[in-house]
Chains A and B, each alone.
Chain A
């Protein structure tokens, strides 16, 4: 699976949009971009994933650049409960039998 690079930490004001970047310049054509988050002392929570088109669900939006070398996770109206470590993970389609490789992620802190 391709490697990802994320900023170590970010701050965002409550009520504003939180934009979390991720670089994955070595991504292959058959690799998806997944986002998970982990709130302190809890298991990771699945947020969203995509291949090349932008995706949106009830939690967030995922914007993938046309060359697929980077992506941005957008939390449209951040709340204090969105404070967590956010992980961007690239993995092969159909790789359901493979474990995930977690990097260090981005510690997002939502400020009141």
Chain B
């Protein structure tokens, strides 16, 4: 299988600050990366889809100006939570597909964000 990493694994920040989360595909080129959010005891919810070199496509109800996504290379996508508030506290998980894994998404380990 493919390996996807995320950094940081957990982050605590103050309300009003911005936080950047990185997602990397370590052993394949990810033409498409996805960002999900998971609240406690809930299932993963897709936030956005990004293709390398293109603007991300956001799901309904997800604010594109608040959750900035950049997919500048075939191995890296970043999610920036701007002006974070306590309600943004959640588990953020990325996944990637591409190269020889066209139909299967491989997930990163997730980033736990806590906004105080």
Q: Which residues of A contact B93 (CB under 8 A)?
A: 43-44
Of the residues B59, B95, B103, B109, contact of A95 by C-beta under 8 Å: B103
CA distance A104 to B59 in the complex (A): 19
Query: Contact: B107 with A99, CB < 8 Å?
Result: no
Question: In the complex the two chains form, is A32's CB within 8 Å of B103's CB?
Answer: yes
A7 interface residue (CB < 8 Å to B)? no
Q: Which residue of A lies closest to B6 (CB)?
A: A43
Q: Would you list which residues of chain A between 46 and 101 have a CB under 8 Å from chain B?
A: 46, 49, 87, 93-101
* Residues from chain A with Cβ under 8 Å of B43 in the complex: 87, 102-105
A37 and B106 alpha carbons, distance in the complex (Å):
12
Whether A45 is near chain B, meaning CB under 8 Å from some CB there, is: yes
Does the CB pair B49–A43 fall under 8 Å?
A: no
**Chain B: interface residue total (CB-CB under 8 A):** 28
Q: Which residue of A lies closest to B1 (CB)?
A: A46
Chain A interface category by residue count: 20 to 34
The answer to whether A97 touches B32, judged by C-beta atoms less than 8 angstroms apart, is yes
Q: Known contacts A41-B91, A44-B44, A44-B93; is A100 also within 8 Å of B110 by CB? A: no
For B112, give the chain A residue with the smallest CB separation.
Answer: A41
Contact A43 B51 (CB under 8 A): no
Distance to closest chain A CB from B49 (angstroms): 6
Are A97 and B51 CB-contacts (below 8 A) given A44-B93, A102-B43?
yes
> Within the assembled complex, what's the spacing in Å between the Cα atoms of A103 and B42?
9
List of A residues within 8 angstroms of B4 by Cβ: 43
- What's the Cα separation between A38 and B110 when bound, in Å? 11
**What are 12 A-B contacts defined by CB distance under 8 Å?**
A32-B103, A36-B107, A41-B91, A42-B109, A42-B110, A46-B1, A96-B103, A99-B49, A100-B46, A100-B105, A102-B43, A102-B44
Q: A36-B107, A96-B32, A98-B49 are in contact. List 10 more A-B contacts (CB 8 A).
A: A41-B91, A43-B95, A43-B107, A44-B95, A94-B102, A96-B97, A96-B98, A96-B103, A97-B97, A104-B43
Shortest 6 CB-CB distances between A and B: which pairs?
Answer: A99-B46, A43-B107, A102-B43, A96-B102, A102-B44, A43-B110
